[in-house]
């Protein structure tokens, strides 16, 4: 993948600091002290330094009827560091969901490897929480129970699960909706419930596939800001799939561009050094945002046009 020059250097680098991951050196020091005291190291050094997600030469091909195969993704190399927010953009059908599903352990690569915190992923990725375009709320359960059940299935007692679920619903702005059922909620409110349902389990990695896709533009912005606030308070590694380049830039530390398929490749990588904390609506007015958008779009447009053909422009 070509690493693109930082097209839109912001004069004010990211000031938000301390909520990020522990630097390896501090973990190493802690481990040394524990060893001296006869204790086991808290975090294996290799794992402490490892990327949260590491895709190494990942190729994914699907068997088609009649014995043919379709290669969706070819030789993808991608890392997401602990605490880093990375978005992947690319034309429809290029393989974005396929990549995400491989990171989730829902799909096994035909070649290459998926590593989670330095260890090969075998089976489902239990260290990740998922948020897909369609939420999976249970219609027969109240909002409160929909969130609490995420803890109950992990073995937490009901009283504590309900208590923590109330806390999370307050954080996502739904304190007054706990007794409602999903069909009594707006699309944006349902997304808030799904977000609480995922975050309550405190996953180390968050995988999101067009999570705000069906929402109107204004609600998308509100959800984007909510996501950024929650992420800033407790930074996780995020792999975020979107077709919306503005959304990708506004949210991310890095934007990855995928080529059109078949055999799609990761063809561009753009660091986003816009200052944080960000407001999704206001950051779009920053001249540095415009310069970066123009730069990434000049690459993305080529891939989009391959997908739609020369007669149509995106």
Ligand X SMILES: Nc1ncnc2c1ncn2[C@@H]1O[C@H](COP(=O)(O)OP(=O)(O)OP(=O)(O)O)[C@@H](O)[C@H]1O
DSSP letters for 211-239: TTTTS-HHHHHHHHHHHHHHHHHS--EEE
Minimum distance from CB of 20 to Mg ion (Å)? 29
In whole angstroms, give the CA distance from residue 168 to residue 163.
9
Minimum distance from CB of 91 to ligand X (Å)? 7
How many residues make contact with Mg ion (CB under 5 A)?
1
- Is the CB of 98 or the CB of 197 nearer to ligand X? 98
Q: Which residues are bridge partners to 240 per DSSP?
A: 87, 208
Check if the beta carbon of residue 84 is closer than 8 Å to that of residue 276.
no
Check if the beta carbon of residue 264 is closer than 8 Å to that of residue 256.
no
Looking at residue 182, the DSSP 8-state letter turns out to be G
- Is the CB of 72 or the CB of 272 nearer to ligand X? 72
- Does position 261 interact with ligand X (CB under 6 A)? The reply is yes
- Does position 189 interact with Mg ion (CB under 5 A)? The reply is no
For residue 55, count CB atoms less than 10 angstroms from its CB and return exposed for 0-12, middle for 13-18, buried for 19 or more.
buried
In whole angstroms, give the CA distance from residue 41 to residue 45.
8
Q: Which of 10, 31, 87, 97 binds ligand X (CB under 6 A)?
A: 97
Q: Which of 10, 97, 197, 242 binds Mg ion (CB under 5 A)?
A: 97
DSSP letters for 70-88: EEEEEEEEEEE-TT-EEEE
Q: Which of 54, 82, 83, 95 binds ligand X (CB under 6 A)?
A: 95
- Is the CB of 94 or the CB of 172 nearer to ligand X? 94
- Is the CB of 251 or the CB of 264 nearer to Mg ion? 264
Q: Give every strand in the sheet of 128-131, ordered side by side.
A: 128-131, 205-209, 237-241, 85-89, 254-258, 266-271
- Does position 308 interact with ligand X (CB under 6 A)? The reply is no
Q: Which of 50, 80, 94, 215 binds ligand X (CB under 6 A)?
A: 94
Site string (218-257) toward Mg ion, x via CB under 5 A: ----------------------------------------
- Does position 96 interact with ligand X (CB under 6 A)? The reply is yes
According to DSSP, the β-strands at 85-89 and 128-131 are: unpaired
Q: Which does 98 bind (CB under 5 to 8 A by kind): Mg ion, ligand X, none?
A: ligand X
Residues within the interface to Mg ion (CB under 5 A):
97
Q: Tell me which residues touch ligand X (CB under 6 A).
A: 62, 64, 70, 72, 90, 92-98, 243, 261
């Amino acid at each position: 993948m070509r690493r693109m020059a930082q097209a839109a250097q912001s004069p004010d680098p990211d000031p938000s600091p301390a909520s990020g991951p522990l630097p390896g050196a501090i973990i190493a020091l802690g481990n040394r002290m524990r060893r001296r005291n006869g204790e086991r190291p808290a975090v294996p050094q290799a794992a402490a330094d490892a990327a949260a997600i590491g895709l190494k030469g990942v190729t994914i091909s699907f068997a088609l009827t009649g014995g043919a195969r379709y290669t969706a993704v070819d030789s993808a190399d991608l890392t997401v560091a602990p605490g880093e927010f990375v978005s992947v953009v690319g034309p429809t059908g290029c393989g974005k969901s396929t990549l995400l599903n491989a990171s989730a352990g829902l799909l096994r690569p035909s070649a290459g490897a998926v590593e989670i915190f330095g260890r090969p992923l075998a089976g489902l990725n239990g260290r990740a929480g998922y948020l897909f375009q369609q939420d999976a709320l249970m219609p027969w359960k109240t909002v409160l129970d929909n969130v609490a059940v995420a803890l109950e299935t992990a073995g937490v007692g009901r009283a504590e699960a309900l208590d923590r679920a109330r806390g999370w619903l307050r954080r996502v702005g739904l304190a007054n909706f706990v007794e409602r059922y999903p069909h009594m909620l707006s699309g944006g409110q349902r997304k808030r419930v799904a977000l609480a349902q995922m975050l309550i389990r405190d996953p180390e990695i968050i995988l999101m596939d067009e999570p705000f896709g069906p929402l109107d533009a204004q609600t998308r912005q509100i959800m984007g800001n909510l996501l950024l606030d929650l992420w800033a308070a407790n930074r996780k590694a995020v792999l975020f799939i979107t077709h919306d380049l503005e959304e990708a830039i506004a949210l991310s530390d890095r934007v990855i561009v995928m080529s059109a398929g078949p055999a799609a490749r990761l063809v561009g990588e753009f660091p986003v050094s816009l200052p944080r904390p960000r407001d999704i609506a206001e950051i779009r007015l920053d001249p540095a945002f415009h310069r970066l958008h123009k730069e990434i779009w000049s690459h993305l447009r080529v891939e989009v046009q391959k997908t739609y053909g020369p007669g149509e422009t995106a």
